[in-house]
Structure 1
């Protein structure tokens, strides 16, 4: 139980983060983003679990189609063989080659059809996973946008405000907490994506998950640079740690 991510624990952690953010910043739009992330986590929990299970109905239909294709191939081969025996010596070289070419074309087309049918389940699961991962990538950028104007260097008040300067009413402590919530939300978005890599062996899905995890890690690293600036600006930074 400690070797895999628990989707239930991820959802519970997100809900706890949402409560903390709402208690601290009741009117912040970041609350809506975290709520949206919770909805995605609950939906993706079901979908990632479904990806790990086989599509029995689809596999049954694929197996039936493959059997029908093989049966048809055997039937055609038998008819060609019987025709060749009945023709005997009357069949010239060109007729024989035409028959062989037709048989090879049938075999190739049947092999391609069988290969395509066996990959249907994999492609369906890949399409579902990539659509969900695209949404997670988008919401990660939305979270990053919410911290974009939270500039900790403004706390140092090195210069006057301009008419276009964003509103910065947060204290040092509040700014640090807000940035921390953004970093946690990004980290949890990466963990939701990791559920798909845990449930799939598809290299395309795993590559997409790794891309999202790298994206959220880089965003979190930039936020932590801001947090360190905020902590350096606080006289008793080590004593003010709180949720």
Structure 2
């Protein structure tokens, strides 16, 4: 079971059309277009992240082979040194060989580790930058629903001079809030694309933060929807 990026893109596109049918001039319609663009970018970026960077991998494997060859050379040379009759020469050769080989082994080992970890760090940096964009759009979605309070649709509501203007019926307000909720849910799904096949703890933690953020914001929206439904039923 995997998330399919093309299905997520199609769902966001369909949501934008639904928003446009009811609120063609609303900022939420254009914001959903931005979310659609981020979903398309996520498809391309996640595919790039899932592909190996062969230059780094081949270089790392080459250093790993060189390190293995060095260790085998040490073992071979150590065995050859015991055939020397001169014990002082034997010890001198062995110590000098060990010193030189240990320095080379440390350098090769560090180089191998650096190359293998560099691929993860490059992919992580790209994933975190994309996840930051999704974090920002989640907050922008929340800003769009911030002043959409169910109480404003009640007959007894009295606005002040600085009250935000709202001309939505209870049905339209319900739809507007529901669209915001869907956009937040899809934001979390787009974020999950980046770590679906990229097992990096830092990136996984960032996606988990996005999911917690969108879940928390969704909770506030559904509280408003429930209040709106109770008001319509009473």
TM bin, normalised by shorter chain, reads 0.7 to 0.9
Q: Where does the alignment leave 5 or more consecutive residues of structure 2 unmatched? A: none
Q: Say which of 224, 227, 241 aligns to 2:225.
A: 227
CA distance in 2: counterparts of 1:113 and 1:107, whole angstroms: 10
Aligned length: 233
Q: Does 1:21 align with 2:19?
A: yes
Per-residue CA deviation, residues 172-224 of structure 1 (Å, 9 max, x unaligned), is 11111000000000000111111122121112221211111111111111101
Q: 2:188–2:214: 8 Å Cα contact kept in structure 1?
A: yes
C-alpha contact (below 8 Å) 2:63/2:111 kept by paired residues: no
Kept after mapping to 2: 8 A contact 1:49/1:199: no
TM-score by length of 1: 0.81
117 and 152 in structure 1: CA distance in 2 versus 1, 3 angstrom threshold: same
Name stretches of at least 5 consecutive residues in structure 1 with no aligned partner: 237-243
Which of 21, 32, 35 aligns to 1:34? It is 32
Any idea what the Cα deviations from partners look like across 1:122-178, whole Å, max 9, x if unmatched? Answer: 111111111111111111111111101111122235553212111111111111100
> What RMSD in Å do the two structures reach over aligned CA positions?
3.1
Contact conserved, 2:67 with 2:109, CA < 8 A, in 1? no
Q: Match of 1:168, SS?
A: coil
Contact kept, 8 Å, 2:153 with 2:168, in 1: the verdict is no
- Residues 143 and 182 in structure 1, CA contact (< 8 A), matched pair in contact too: yes
Distance 1:19 1:45 in 2: 20
Secondary structure of the residue aligned to 1:118 is: helix
Q: Is the 8 A contact 2:60 2:115 kept in 1?
A: yes
- Which structure 2 residues correspond to residues 54-203 of structure 1 after superposition, within 5 A? 54-67=52-65, 89=88, 100=98, 103-156=101-154, 158-203=156-201
Distance in 2 between residues matched to 1:65 and 1:92, nearest whole Å: 29
Equivalent in the alignment of 1:240: none
Query: Contact 1:183–1:220 (CA<8 Å) still a contact in 2?
Result: yes
The answer as to whether partners of 1:73 and 1:110 remain within 8 angstroms in 2 is: no
Task: State the 1:38 CA deviation.
Answer: 0.4
Matched, 1:10 2:8: yes
